[in-house]
Structure 1
Amino acid sequence: MVPERTDSISTFAYFAFGSNMLKERLCLENPSATFLDIGRLKDYQLDFGLWAESVASSWHGGVATIRQSPGSEVWGVIWTIRRDQLDNLDHQEGIHEGLYSPLEVTVESSNHGEMLCRTYQMNNFHASPTSPQYKHVVCWGAEQNGLPGDYIGGLQAVKTNNYTGPSMLDRIEVHTNWE
């Protein structure tokens, strides 16, 4: 295994598999995020849910997590982020509230071989359908970064809860209109 590869020791490699695959979403809280590569995490599967039964979320539905599953794989985006923004990412992922736990995983990158990356796994997972808005952001990020077409097709096939109100997507769209 090759240790994490980044441009300098002042950055870390982060493997995003949910809404943070979309650059505009990730950069709301982590402006130094720079695309490095796409990658595949073996022996894990992607799930959508909440960290407690019937809890409210800013996405109005389930959000992405990973869980171990021999023979499965999760595709995502490998970003480099400045170390001084690690607290921002941890806060976004709800580490201090116990919503997610950080993991160090080995990801097979398309152009850099195996890389050690930080990622996050939901605690106390309860399956819950995602909102159409969250699914849109996940698919948008997968397309934006060139994940394999069959994997994107699987993301597009995810069933939603049909929520139609405001969501975090509104904040992303407003932010992208500023630029």
Structure 2
Amino acid sequence: MARSEVGDGLQSAMPSIWQHAHDLEVQYPNHSDWSLSDFALCARSWLQHLWRTHLMTFHYFAYGSNMLPARLINRCRSAKLLGTGIARDFRLDFTKQSKDGSGKAALRAAPGAHVPGVIFEVDLAERSTLDQHEGFGYRREDAFVVEDSVPGSTRMTNTYLATLSDPQVKPFDWYLATVIAGAMFHKMDDAHVAALRGIAFIEDTDKERKTRAAAIAAMYAHGIDDYRTLLEWPR
């Protein structure tokens, strides 16, 4: 493991370390009476928690097509669903210019707005793989704070922010359908799903495109036989 990755893991671990310490305090209120061996066992538990959850894995906030579990797992086999989250002071659009000429999901700064997404735990060894999939036109943000499903609780995550923008591009039909499928799978609110369905898209005429086939397969794995039923036609 690279030294920089260890440092990233320690930085993102700090809020959880204090939470874990608090949990131990609650669980063992009479710790002042502990023996040296008791403290050793506690320290071992603490270090195991730190290593397992922050030096071997990272938390990833997905807000586009990777919200659909089968889509992300096809790219990162270790991905484990933790729950939903919200990115505050951002809005969602599809103006990130892609290599295939279409638009992809992007978070744009917008005070007062918010974007729902999904939090996954992924092995750190697979972060470079995710970088490759998300790389073109994105930069990885390693200290992206989102609200998780527990009221008042936040979580430090990795996510990808767009570096390229073209207001003229539109998402392919299958790509937008994958985003909608992810939102529906996680039972996101009707307003968000309706907003996604209101996005203008273009039909992909390249039926042999590998990324298209992979997205359709991911939707099929979640019981969606025809992705076109998720979209509002015509466009």
With normalisation by structure 2, the TM-score equals 0.65
Which residue, 84, 95, 98 being the options, matches 2:125?
84
Q: Residues 38 and 146 of structure 1 are in contact (CA less than 8 Å); yes or no, is this contact kept in structure 2? A: no
Which residue, 204, 209, 218 being the options, matches 1:163?
204
Are residues 109 and 171 of structure 1, via their aligned partners in 2, closer, same or farther at CA, if it must alter by over 3 Å?
Answer: same
- Secondary structure class of the residue paired with 1:162: coil
Q: Which structure: greater strand fraction?
A: 1
C-alpha deviations, 1:114-167, integer Å up to 9, x for none? 111110011121121111111100000111122222111111111112334424
Q: CA–CA distance in 2 between the matches of 1:178 and 1:134?
A: 15
Mapping 1:41-60, distance limit 5 Å: 41-51=87-97, 56-57=99-100
- The residue number in structure 2 matching 1:131 is 172
Are residues 126 and 159 of structure 1, via their aligned partners in 2, closer, same or farther at CA, if it must alter by over 3 Å?
Answer: same
Are residues 4 and 157 of structure 1, via their aligned partners in 2, closer, same or farther at CA, if it must alter by over 3 Å?
Answer: farther
Number of positions where the alignment pairs a residue of Structure 1 with one of Structure 2: 171
- Secondary structure class of the residue paired with 2:176: helix
Structure 2: which 5+ residue stretches go unaligned? 1-13, 18-48, 223-235
Higher RCO, Cα 8 Å, sep 6+? 1
Mapping 1:116-155, distance limit 5 Å: 116-127=156-167, 128-155=169-196
Q: Which structure: greater helix fraction?
A: 2
Aligned-residue Cα RMSD (Å) equals: 2.6
Q: Residues 11 and 80 of structure 1 are in contact (CA less than 8 Å); yes or no, is this contact kept in structure 2? A: yes
Give 1 or 2 for the bigger CA radius of gyration: 2
Q: CA–CA distance in 2 between the matches of 1:100 and 1:178?
A: 27
